[in-house]
Structure 1
């Protein structure tokens, strides 16, 4: 029987500034913002920082509607979902302390102002995960 150590993870729901395209949002988050976080957190950066982007394939009247299967546009006010995974809750607390320190928090906030709507950011701690495979 294989056992796995419990990790600590949380999800971030991020809304891009309406003045930038979904592609500009993705490029900035992937290449600039995550690099800033890595430079601030150093060895305390999460084990993984996975970003998922809502598909918004075509501009329509100055906006990029989500490619919805079920629901409405109003249900998808965010553009990206990030999952940050840490070895344990203590590692998360260390990371959180680093990024919350006044100087680091100011750098992060200034960077976020360039590509997201900070007031719409949401975060939630993940519980257990169940995975079902085809086989």
Structure 2
């Protein structure tokens, strides 16, 4: 059974949303792929909030949620997810990835949540 997670990623104060997105796509994702190797998720999608010209999120109702991107990752099963985490916990990988996160992400506010039941409505 697939094991899915969402990662809610807030940017580090002082960097623009565009710089955050550029760093995540061109530096951080390649690091995760390199260190994750064959354990990298079978599906990994990033959803970026839309920001206006003054770097504020476009909110239709309510307030901004405190994150700039939602990462959606799917693994074959829970064991595959833990194997990926294990690859990232190796000393060198952990050190490099943590140092990189500090450059663009507000690590204290980062959240990783397991997705349970998924329902979809199509028209």
- In 2, distance between residues paired with 1:48 and 1:34? 13
CA RMSD of aligned residues (A): 1.0
Per the normalisation by structure 2, the TM-score is 0.95
2:60 to 62, 69, 75: 69
Aligned residues: 123
Give distance in 2, aligned partners of 1:94 and 1:126.
Answer: 18
Q: TM-score, normalised by structure 1?
A: 0.87
Show structure 1 runs of 4+ deviating over 3 A.
none
Please, which runs of 5 or more residues in structure 2 have no aligned partner? none
Which structure 1 segments of 5+ residues have no match?
1-5
Distance (Å, rounded) in 2 between the aligned partners of 1:121 and 1:112: 10
Q: In 2, Cα distance between the equivalents of 1:118 and 1:47?
A: 25
Mapped to 1, the partners of 2:72 and 2:59 lie a distance apart of 21
Q: Which has the larger radius of gyration?
A: 1
- The 5 A counterparts of 1:1-135 are 6-59=1-54, 64-73=55-64, 76-134=65-123
